Amino acid sequence: MNKMSWLVYSQTKDIVFCYCCKLFCNSDILLTNAGFNDWQNLHQYLKEHETSINHLCSLTNWMELSNRLCSSTTINAVQQRQLNSEILCWQAVLECLLAIINFLAEQCLAFCGSSDILYENNHGNFLKLIELLAKFDNVMIHTHYLGKNTQNEIIELISNGMHNEILSTLKHAKYYSIIVDCTQDLSKTEQMSIVLRFLKTDENAEVKICEHFLEFISVNETTGKALTDVILQRLEHCGIPLENICGQGYNNAFFIPCHVHSLNLVVSDAVKSSKDAVSYFTTVQAIYNFFSASTHRWAVLKKYLVQKLTLKSLSQTRWESRIDKMMQFQFSCCTVIWHNILNQINLTSKVMQNITTDISEEKTILNKTSEYLKKYHSDEGFEETVKEAHDDPVLDTNERFKVECSYCILDVAITSTEERFCQLHGHCETFEFLYDIGNVKNQFFKEDLIKHCQDLHLALSTDTAADIDAVVLYDELTALSVLICPKTSPLKVLEFIARNDFFTPNTAIALHILLTLPVSVASGEHSFSKLKLLKNYLRATMFQNHLSGLALISIEGTIAKNLDFTDLLKDYASIKTTKINFI
């Protein structure tokens, strides 16, 4: 230590102090408290102070502290090392707990049993897995933070991380659609499922259509206004700008009814159109009731059915009153008619439930379904039905059945298809000029293309702002049409723009909105299958935030696996460690 390194000077007060005495000396001396500024006598006073007992003791204490700080042997440093060791231990424990909770949540398994103590019976899946891991790592046993509170805290930690990841990706995408559906759970609570649809562009400029479950919200009223208020409140709480929504009909958005549901309603309309059709399905229900009432009869049925066919329930009825119906001409023909119609509807429905299907593709496949029904609605179609229904030639094809049942069903199905999907055709007319940008100059005259751009500009405008500029959009499309091959899908055009870093913002925005428009609410309905597994009769009293967190982990398991919880676990481990008393 340099000579008189303990002497310090205050520029603001123009006074000198003894640094070590100010830290360690309690005596009232000038260089400790008030300082010294008698510059003429400073030299003599410093010599006296330097040899004083108080100064020597303070200097010794200062040097000892300095050496301890350098060697990290202070009491505080030792305690800090112990604290850091405990944090690392806790972090290892929490990583195991997080993996266990992730596994149980993803598989929709219950956590707790009737006991909260390790190595007791009926203590649930969570503690049972702790015991299993403890056979290979004893660190899992010594901790006493294995109760319900810790489980709930870690579930919240995981779900919050996933929630933030989804919202961060959505905000980067800007434009989104909201998919909402409701159902009643086991505890008679109305649960609203919220799913967000948006586009995600990765580092390789690959564009992906995403539909992510956000949460379940319990609702007391199911009126349009009540549900809208809840949705608006959640959007505001999550910090999602309402002006960027482009699906479900709020503000500057397109309302897209679930077209898969509409397709099912087409079938419902067709069934109600004819008494023969109603009678047919009543008989089918009777067949189900007859075979399902006996395990022996069900085994016989399975033995003779081919291609893994089975019976399913429709509604309650009596078998005895309909047994003779199966032998009639109408029943055989109805079986063929409904098999062909429902088979076509089923294939169409599955394509429409794919999240990558856009409204143009949906329009195309619906048109094909409509054409199939119209083709089936002919004398040739009916003759094929009769031929398929009966091995032997039927001399009387029963004109009444053809008119009152077969044609009646198809008439209603065709009309219902056209009526229920007229809104879809309207949306397609607004956006369809964007489906073949590579061929846009050959497909439209200049005036027509400008008109389409202007119509889209109006559709994406509010009183105060517009998402695109019609004139600039026209210029961008004509420039892009030279660079893009014909029949390139909107998704691939977006990837082309991103990959080549083209500055065509209006086209990019229009395509983003087009691809963000939802086709069905299948993702919302899929979340209800998880709801039934999570909130069963053993867990009917589960808290709402706990239910929503578990559902998020289960439905969006891929996000949970890809998240890095290192920093979150460090913070959580530090909080837990500070509860430990050090001696």
Task: Using the predicted structure, report yes or no on whether residue 360 has a pLDDT greater than 90.
Answer: no
pLDDT of residue 34: 78
Who has greater pLDDT, 167 or 464?
167
pLDDT of residue 221: 85
pLDDT of residue 427: 66
User: What band does 320 get if pLDDT is binned at 50, 70 and 90?
Assistant: very low
Residue 68 contacts by C-beta under 8 Å, 6 or more apart in sequence?
74, 77
Of the given ranges (76-80, 90-94, 474-478, 519-523), which has the lowest mean pLDDT?
76-80
Residues 125-165: tens digit of each pLDDT: 888 888 888 777 666 555 555 677 778 888 888 888 899 99
pLDDT of residue 477: 92
Average pLDDT rounded to a whole number, residues 9-16: 88
Residues 230-287: tens digit of each pLDDT: 999 999 999 999 888 888 744 345 555 554 555 566 666 666 666 776 777 777 777 7
Residues 201-234: tens digit of each pLDDT: 888 888 899 999 999 999 888 888 888 889 999 9
3-state secondary structure of 196: strand
Stated as kind and residue range, the H or E segment containing 335 is helix 329-352
The mean of the pLDDT values for the chain is: 78
pLDDT of residue 473: 93
Average pLDDT rounded to a whole number, residues 417-426: 62
Tokens for 162? 């996933």
Residue 65 contacts by C-beta under 8 Å, 6 or more apart in sequence?
74
User: What band does 580 get if pLDDT is binned at 50, 70 and 90?
Assistant: very low
3-state secondary structure of 423: helix
Question: d(Cα 42, Cα 154) in Å, to the nearest integer?
Answer: 65
* One-character DSSP codes across 367-386: HHHHHHHHHHSSHHHHHHHH
Average pLDDT rounded to a whole number, residues 433-462: 88
Per 3-state DSSP, the chain is made up of helix, strand and coil in percentages (nearest 5) of 65, 10, 30
pLDDT of residue 73: 61
Question: d(Cα 514, Cα 489) in Å, to the nearest integer?
Answer: 12
pLDDT of residue 212: 92
Task: Using the predicted structure, report yes or no on whether residue 102 has a pLDDT greater than 90.
Answer: no
Average pLDDT rounded to a whole number, residues 479-505: 87
Asked whether the whole model's pTM tops 0.85, one would answer no
Residue 511 contacts by C-beta under 8 Å, 6 or more apart in sequence?
434, 490, 493, 494
User: What band does 418 get if pLDDT is binned at 50, 70 and 90?
Assistant: low
Question: d(Cα 39, Cα 22) in Å, to the nearest integer?
Answer: 20
pLDDT of residue 511: 92
Stated as kind and residue range, the H or E segment containing 405 is none
3-state secondary structure of 71: helix
